[in-house]
Chains A and B, each alone.
Chain A
Amino acid sequence: MTETVTYELMVNGERRVVEGSWLGESLLFALRERLGLPGSKNACEQGECGSCSVRLDDRLVCACLVLAADAQGRSVTTVEGLTGADGDALTDVQRAFLDEGGVQCGFCTPGLVMSVHDLLDRNPTPDDLELREAISGNLCRCTGYGRILAAARTVVARRGEASLHESEGPA
């Protein structure tokens, strides 16, 4: 290959060194093949499927469209970096995907989990069209989206209940 470079990335809160990388490598390639984080998937490498969705600082991006070297000095969060509240290994979105049957083959799942988190961070109570639009950049070929939409609605409902209880205070 041509000239190689070494650089540092901040991934899931950790400093990671990418060594011997070709400058043209995407963030997706660096995550998957150089840093041992294959949770972000590659289904098109063209920004069309959302399987590679990761958070770059506080924006959701297609990791296949970002040059890895360009992500220096920014914070990358992948599905491997998600953790739930109260010591739960899974987030409420991940739990809801399981409870509602949003997972079949699972190839789209990490990207959709990132996408639903991103939406609900920005808009905690999306209506049906907002929800559909927010995940319309994530292709799923197995589920027809029905159970995925159900999972997102479940998260909204559960978060709503939880904050209601909080505001009511201890009984």
Chain B
Amino acid sequence: MTVTGERTATAGRLGHSAARPDGVPKVSGQFAFSSDLSADGMVWGHVLRSPHPHARIRSIDIGPALAIPGVHTVLTADDVLGDNSFGLEHADQPVLAHDVVRFTGEAVAALAADHPDTARRAAQAIVVDYEPLEPLIDAEEAITAPPIHPAGNIFRQLVIRQGDTSAEGEVVVEATYEVGMQDQAFMGPESGLAIPDDDGGVDLHMSTQWLHVDRDQVAACLGLPTEKVRLTLAGVGGAFGAREDVSMQVHICLLALHTRRPVKMVFTREESFLGHVHRHPARMHYRHHATRDGRLVKVEARIVLDGGAYASTSGPVLVNACCFAAGPYVVPNALIEGWAVRTNNPPCGAMRGFGAVQACFAHESQMDLLAAELGMDPVELRLRNVMKSGDRIPTGQVVSGAAPVEELIRTCAAVPLPPLDPSPAVMSMPGGSGRTADPARVRRGVGFAVGFKNLMYSAGFDDYSTARVRLEDGVATVTCAAAEVGQGFVTLAQQIVREVLAVDEVVVAPAETVTIGSAGSTSASRQTWMSGGAVERAALAVRARVDAGEAGPIEETYEHHHPPTFPLDENGQGVAHVSYVFAAHRAVVDVDLDLGLVRVVEIATSQDVGRVLNPLQVTGQIEGGIAQGVGLAVMEEIVLDRGLVRNASFTDYLIPTALDMPDVTIAALVEEPEPGAPFGAKGVGEPPTISSSAAVAAAVRDATGLALPRIPIRPQDIALA
């Protein structure tokens, strides 16, 4: 079934564009983001960061900083109360560097002062004697280079062997692709408030994606039992993966415990660029084998991801890049090798699409190359090889759920092309207000791409969420630690409870770690399924008691696990994923051949959604995700020069504005209910980002005739080609 608009649904319930409970506070400036918090006696924290990508620390003199009036404390590695290392998967990153710094921006000292500017000046007064070391900046080299960390340079290595790895096709196309380092660039900078308690513990108010895992990492670094670290979600100004890792959490808690005062910290935009993980830059060599009539015979890929200085989620990102390396196609034989390595570049981790984005750019570029080699229409080639439910991915796992890829491709490709404007307004041409474009030298191009990825965590991770529903006097209260980062989980939680309990008033309690268990991370497009499922089941348990005639307050808590998954074996085979989600994108671009400027005119898309639970929120996720895909295709890259970040500001790191963003045409939201998913719904946040970049790149190739094997495509890649 295909829907493009709102169906008849009861107001506020599932299927309806229910209003956000945080909407009124957000439009009126009353919503408290983490950067808006304050407390009596509060001081301001700040972190001194390494200016070197790789250096030995000979000495640190904090005396000059302590001498500045208004400075309360200055902390170095020796002042860390518990473990001086943290990390999501492996605790390999120092809270404060003690002997070596491994990336530009690594935390070296933390301090607190009575004014944020005093704190910044005090940081500059700290004297660190560095002995610069040669930085390891090439991911390929890192595989064999001497280790730059006791844990070695290889975060993860993986081989997937499927079928006959020596099979040959009649037609072979081969190329190397690259993806640059993208930043999540959420608007609300990292910020938090830590308040010391009389019991020796700390209350941390933080914008984050995963409260309980933050709590556990913070407690270990403070040397405290987990219950003495109480985390409450503070208003989150966007996340997109960058808040999955600990940034300042340990620092402000340490400062609070040392000063016995509430400590607030807010990153500047520059610190934000330096202080969180990014999307992994990738280098991917591909060889596609096919028959003359366009059937895929084998895909060979060698994928190297630059994980930067510390592990973060490099391992799982690599697993994703390799599992989805061949695209949503029937591929009988495959040999896929991947490495995620350590370098002295900024650490990389989660960003929307999580490994699938990089792989999609490569596999879709290969499909176009193959289509050109075969003289076939690119859309036709994709349809000829399209994956259906019951087919296998190269790990041998059967895609047992909904896989309406063919419908996505057909509906997206069928959208009428936007008309060519014979006399375009200057502002609608590449270069816009720069008035640079010569209309005679502007070419239009069209590109198509399809992508997919997993929903939820994979490869044996016990992924679960906990929710409590309480019904009292006709009002239901939901307690769940799922982080609302803007995506609208709070709206969905209300819709689910209204639907199940047939009540109108549903309160969503603040997300915290004291009264409820983990909800897992707001990532991997998983909260609709995992926390939505936990809320549904807790509500169903309440309803059962109501139906049995029970009166008075009723409360039920449910811990929702998805079916178990398993690590891949030595041949990269196994049941590693729970479910998959698919999308198709068609991009139309105008390119100024002389200046290399690109204007994206339109993105048409179809997406596999299982079931639309809130049409307006689905639309918002699709448009917002496409904006990030367009950004990666033609604008966004953290520019590195021997490990130094050259553009840590919104002046130099450009994200799409309203003028850069094309019209988005949603051709179809394909509603094929996913077995096992609460309400049949799939998460919708990531697919818009996965194949939109590849589609834009394909369109620019179509307009220019250039190979363009790297994104972002820069003006010089076109104008100087």
- Interface residues of chain A, those whose CB is within 8 Å of chain B, are 1, 22, 24, 32-33, 37-46, 48-49, 51, 78-80, 82, 89-90, 94, 97-98, 100-101, 103-110, 113, 129, 131-133, 135-149
Q: Which residue of A lies closest to B33 (CB)?
A: A107
Query: Once the chains bind, are B650 and A46 in contact (CB under 8 Å)?
Result: yes
- Smallest CB–CB gap between B97 and chain A, Å? 26
Within 8 A of A (CB), among B7-50: 17, 19-20, 22-24, 26-33, 35-36, 38
Q: From DSSP, what is the main secondary structure of chain A's interface residues?
A: loop
Query: Once the chains bind, are A22 and B29 in contact (CB under 8 Å)?
Result: no
Does B292 touch A at the CB level, under 8 Å? no
Does B64 touch A at the CB level, under 8 Å? no
Chain A residues positioned under 8 Å from B235 (CB to CB): 106
- Give the distance in Å from the alpha carbon of A133 to the alpha carbon of B189 in the complex: 25
Does B136 touch A at the CB level, under 8 Å? no
- Quick one: which of A38, A51, A110, A138 has the most chain B CB within 10 A? A38
- Give the distance in Å from the alpha carbon of A100 to the alpha carbon of B69 in the complex: 50
Stretch binding the partner chain, chosen from B82-90, B173-181, B511-519, B613-621: B613-621
- Give the distance in Å from the alpha carbon of A143 to the alpha carbon of B237 in the complex: 12
Query: Once the chains bind, are A144 and B188 in contact (CB under 8 Å)?
Result: no
Query: Once the chains bind, are A39 and B617 in contact (CB under 8 Å)?
Result: no
Query: Once the chains bind, are A108 and B187 in contact (CB under 8 Å)?
Result: yes
Query: Once the chains bind, are B659 and A133 in contact (CB under 8 Å)?
Result: yes
Chain A residues positioned under 8 Å from B238 (CB to CB): 104-105, 107, 141-142
Chain A residues positioned under 8 Å from B237 (CB to CB): 41, 43, 105-107
- Quick one: which of B29, B117, B616, B620 has the most chain A CB within 10 A? B29
Query: Once the chains bind, are B117 and A145 in contact (CB under 8 Å)?
Result: no
Q: Which residue of A lies closest to B237 (CB)?
A: A107
Query: Once the chains bind, are B268 and A45 in contact (CB under 8 Å)?
Result: yes
- Quick one: which of B17, B27, B185, B485 has the most chain A CB within 10 A? B27
Chain B residues positioned under 8 Å from A48 (CB to CB): 649-651
Chain B residues positioned under 8 Å from A39 (CB to CB): 28-30
- Give the distance in Å from the alpha carbon of A137 to the alpha carbon of B117 in the complex: 26
Q: Which residue of B lies closest to A43 (CB)?
A: B187
Pick from A45, A51, A94: contact of B187, CB below 8 A: A51
Pick from B27, B187, B266, B627: contact of A105, CB below 8 A: B187
Query: Once the chains bind, are B24 and A90 in contact (CB under 8 Å)?
Result: yes
Q: Which residue of B lies closest to A100 (CB)?
A: B616
Does B240 touch A at the CB level, under 8 Å? yes
- Interface residues of chain B, those whose CB is within 8 Å of chain A, are 17, 19-20, 22-24, 26-33, 35-36, 38, 69-70, 114-115, 117-118, 184-189, 235-240, 266, 268-269, 425, 427-428, 433, 485-488, 616-617, 619-620, 623-628, 649-651, 655-659, 661, 664
Pick from B26, B186, B266: contact of A42, CB below 8 A: B266
- Give the distance in Å from the alpha carbon of A8 to the alpha carbon of B658 in the complex: 36
Pick from A43, A138, A143, A146: contact of B189, CB below 8 A: A43
Pick from B118, B185, B658: contact of A145, CB below 8 A: B658
Pick from A41, A113, A146: contact of B33, CB below 8 A: A41
Chain A residues positioned under 8 Å from B31 (CB to CB): 106
Chain B residues positioned under 8 Å from A24 (CB to CB): 117
Chain A residues positioned under 8 Å from B115 (CB to CB): 1, 22
User: Would you list 21 pairs from A and B whose C-beta atoms are within 8 A, ordered by A residue?
Assistant: A38-B32, A38-B35, A39-B30, A41-B35, A49-B187, A90-B27, A94-B27, A97-B27, A98-B20, A101-B617, A105-B237, A107-B33, A129-B427, A131-B658, A132-B659, A142-B486, A143-B623, A144-B627, A144-B656, A145-B661, A146-B619
- Smallest CB–CB gap between B706 and chain A, Å? 27
Q: Which residue of B lies closest to A45 (CB)?
A: B268
Query: Once the chains bind, are B425 and A129 in contact (CB under 8 Å)?
Result: yes
Chain A residues positioned under 8 Å from B33 (CB to CB): 38, 41, 106-107
- Smallest CB–CB gap between B18 and chain A, Å? 11
Query: Once the chains bind, are A98 and B19 in contact (CB under 8 Å)?
Result: yes
- Give the distance in Å from the alpha carbon of A110 to the alpha carbon of B25 in the complex: 10
Chain A residues positioned under 8 Å from B32 (CB to CB): 38
- Give the distance in Å from the alpha carbon of A107 to the alpha carbon of B488 in the complex: 14
Q: Which residue of B lies closest to A149 (CB)?
A: B658
Chain A residues positioned under 8 Å from B487 (CB to CB): 104
Q: Which residue of A lies closest to B268 (CB)?
A: A45
Interface Cβ pair total, 8 Å cutoff: 189
- Give the distance in Å from the alpha carbon of A56 to the alpha carbon of B425 in the complex: 32
Chain A residues positioned under 8 Å from B625 (CB to CB): 144
Query: Once the chains bind, are B189 and A139 in contact (CB under 8 Å)?
Result: no
Query: Once the chains bind, are B658 and A148 in contact (CB under 8 Å)?
Result: yes
Pick from B70, B186, B616: contact of A141, CB below 8 A: B186
Query: Once the chains bind, are B619 and A147 in contact (CB under 8 Å)?
Result: yes
- Give the distance in Å from the alpha carbon of A100 to the alpha carbon of B23 in the complex: 11
A40-B664 contact given A105-B236, A141-B186, A148-B658, CB 8 Å threshold? no
- Smallest CB–CB gap between B302 and chain A, Å? 33
Query: Once the chains bind, are A38 and B658 in contact (CB under 8 Å)?
Result: no
Query: Once the chains bind, are A43 and B188 in contact (CB under 8 Å)?
Result: yes
Pick from A33, A46, A105, A131: contact of B649, CB below 8 A: A46
Query: Once the chains bind, are A136 and B657 in contact (CB under 8 Å)?
Result: yes
- Give the distance in Å from the alpha carbon of A167 to the alpha carbon of B248 in the complex: 58
- Give the distance in Å from the alpha carbon of A51 to the alpha carbon of B659 in the complex: 17
Query: Once the chains bind, are B658 and A22 in contact (CB under 8 Å)?
Result: no
Query: Once the chains bind, are B664 and A144 in contact (CB under 8 Å)?
Result: yes
Query: Once the chains bind, are B269 and A104 in contact (CB under 8 Å)?
Result: no
- Quick one: which of A38, A108, A139, A144 has the most chain B CB within 10 A? A144
- Smallest CB–CB gap between B587 and chain A, Å? 14
- Smallest CB–CB gap between A34 and chain B, Å? 11
Query: Once the chains bind, are A145 and B627 in contact (CB under 8 Å)?
Result: yes
Q: Which residue of B lies closest to A108 (CB)?
A: B187
- Give the distance in Å from the alpha carbon of A48 to the alpha carbon of B343 in the complex: 31
- Quick one: which of B17, B24, B184 has the most chain A CB within 10 A? B24
Pick from B29, B184, B627: contact of A110, CB below 8 A: B29
- Give the distance in Å from the alpha carbon of A40 to the alpha carbon of B488 in the complex: 22
Query: Once the chains bind, are B658 and A44 in contact (CB under 8 Å)?
Result: no
Q: Which residue of B lies closest to A25 (CB)?
A: B117
Query: Once the chains bind, are A104 and B620 in contact (CB under 8 Å)?
Result: yes
What are the 7 closest A-B residue pairs judged by CB atoms, nearest first?
A39-B29, A105-B486, A106-B26, A107-B237, A144-B627, A144-B623, A79-B29
Chain A residues positioned under 8 Å from B36 (CB to CB): 32, 38
Query: Once the chains bind, are A40 and B29 in contact (CB under 8 Å)?
Result: yes
Query: Once the chains bind, are A105 and B658 in contact (CB under 8 Å)?
Result: no
- Smallest CB–CB gap between B65 and chain A, Å? 15
Chain A residues positioned under 8 Å from B425 (CB to CB): 129
- 17 more contacts with CB within 8 A, not counting A133-B427, A141-B187, A145-B658, are A43-B269, A44-B269, A46-B269, A48-B650, A80-B30, A90-B27, A98-B23, A101-B616, A104-B238, A105-B485, A110-B29, A129-B428, A136-B657, A141-B628, A142-B238, A145-B623, A145-B657
